[in-house]
Amino acid sequence: MNSTEQVSVKRIKIDAAVVLPDRPRSKIPDHFALSIWQGTEAETLPAKVSHRIVGRTHPFSSVVEEYKKLRIKILSATQKKFRNTIMVASAQSGEGKTVTAINLAISIAQSLDHTVLLVDADLRQPSIHTYLGINPHYGLSDYLTSRLNLSDILIKTWIKNLVFLPAGTPQRNSSELLASRRMRDLVQEVKNRYRDRYVIFDSPPLLPIADGLSLSEYMDGVLFITLAEKTNPVFAKQALAHLKNRNILGVVYNGSRQSTSPYQYPSYYTI
């Protein structure tokens, strides 16, 4: 190990935040989603895509490698019986559910054998569209409350094999909507339509509201998210107690400051 590497490794140990270089500004207009829907996948990213969507913005970063590891483990655990509906949940808000759901979806979508439908099931505070830089007109809530067709609300993203189902108009009775028969039918529909599709649901936090609990009934597996230095063990246990009879695939530890391996490349050299 040369001196440069030593210095870099040391920095990782002290503060393991991955520093991503700023991406070049895009000249694509804000209403990029419309053009996506029109089936013209953009070559460059929309201006409002969050830097946290590393699977697309920084595809060679170490963070992406971690998501790839997550993808492998998820596929390994679900591929045999093809349990393809996965809910991403956490005890409280702000622990990285949405970012994890998006990056996991991108990672699976980038695999050669699977397509992904990313569903924003947080009907109260939807945010996936913001991360993706999309401004959808309709979404899941609209589908559940009206006679819209599923194909009317799906958005094909700029990532190949990744389709996005936005949350739609925020609703007060989101819990009831998610527990409704139409929602169950929707899940069955998207689950069974394609044999190679994974459906990833970004759910509301489990403890403050019941939406996530309602949604988890239809899921093949639940991915539980924790955030370093924030997630309280007591709350985490309470949330998992709610999911007692669900299939918990595992835990994702977000915001780690520790180097996971002494062989990890520093971020500067992986990008």
Partner 1 sequence: MPDNIAFRATIDHYTQVLVRRKYIALAVGLAVLSVFTWGSFIMPKVYEASSTVTIEKSGLINPLMEGVGVSPTEARLRKIRSTIASRSTIAQVIEKLGPAYATENETQFNGLIKKIQSNLKITVREEGERRGDPDLFTIEYRGGDPLEVKNFIETLVKEFINQSVLYQNMDAEGVYRFIDSQLEEYKIKLEYSDKSIREFLEQNPTMVPQSEETIARRIENFQVAYIEGSIQLKELLQKRENLRKQLTGEKELSVAFISESSYSPAGFKGTSEDRQKEHLNTLNNELMLLLTKYTIDHPDVLRLQSEINEIQSQLAKPKEKRNNSGSVSGSEMRTLNPVYHRIKEELSKTDMEIDAVRARVDELTKRQSEGRAVLERMPKEQEEWTKLRRDRTAYQHIYDELLQKRESARVSKNLEMSDSTMIFRMIDSPILPRFPVSPNRIQWIVFGFLMGIVSAFGAAVGRDYLDPSYKNEQTIQDDLHLPVLASIPLIRTATDHHAKTKFDNKIYALAAIYCTLIGLLLFIEILYRYLGIRLLPF
Q: Residues in the site for partner 1, rule: CB under 8 A?
A: 13-22, 51-52, 54, 62-63, 66-67, 69-70, 73-74, 96, 99-100, 223-224, 226, 228-234, 236-237, 240, 248-258, 260, 267
Give 112 or 241: the residue with its C-beta nearer to partner 1: 241
29 contacts 42 by C-beta, under 8 angstroms: no
**Cα distance between residue 190 and residue 138, in whole Å:** 17
Sequence-separated (6 or more) residues with CB below 8 Å from residue 261: none
CB of 175 to partner 1, least distance (A): 25
Give 79 or 188: the residue with its C-beta nearer to partner 1: 79
CB of 210 to partner 1, least distance (A): 22
CB of 77 to partner 1, least distance (A): 8
CB of 138 to partner 1, least distance (A): 30
131 contacts 98 by C-beta, under 8 angstroms: yes
**Cα distance between residue 79 and residue 108, in whole Å:** 12
Pick from 54, 49, 141, 160: nearest CA to 100: 54
CB of 160 to partner 1, least distance (A): 23
114 contacts 84 by C-beta, under 8 angstroms: no
Give 175 or 254: the residue with its C-beta nearer to partner 1: 254
CA distances, 183 to each of 119, 150, 177, 186 (Å) = 12, 11, 7, 5
106 contacts 162 by C-beta, under 8 angstroms: yes
**Cα distance between residue 184 and residue 172, in whole Å:** 19
Length of the chain as a residue count: 271
CB of 146 to partner 1, least distance (A): 37
Instruction: Look up residue 77 and give its DSSP letter.
Output: H
Tokens read off for 99? 């970012």
**Cα distance between residue 12 and residue 61, in whole Å:** 14
- Kindly report the number of other CB atoms within 10 A of residue 100's CB atom: 22
Give 209 or 236: the residue with its C-beta nearer to partner 1: 236
CB of 45 to partner 1, least distance (A): 14
Give 114 or 153: the residue with its C-beta nearer to partner 1: 114
Give 78 or 141: the residue with its C-beta nearer to partner 1: 78
Give 15 or 113: the residue with its C-beta nearer to partner 1: 15
CB of 57 to partner 1, least distance (A): 9
Give 35 or 44: the residue with its C-beta nearer to partner 1: 44
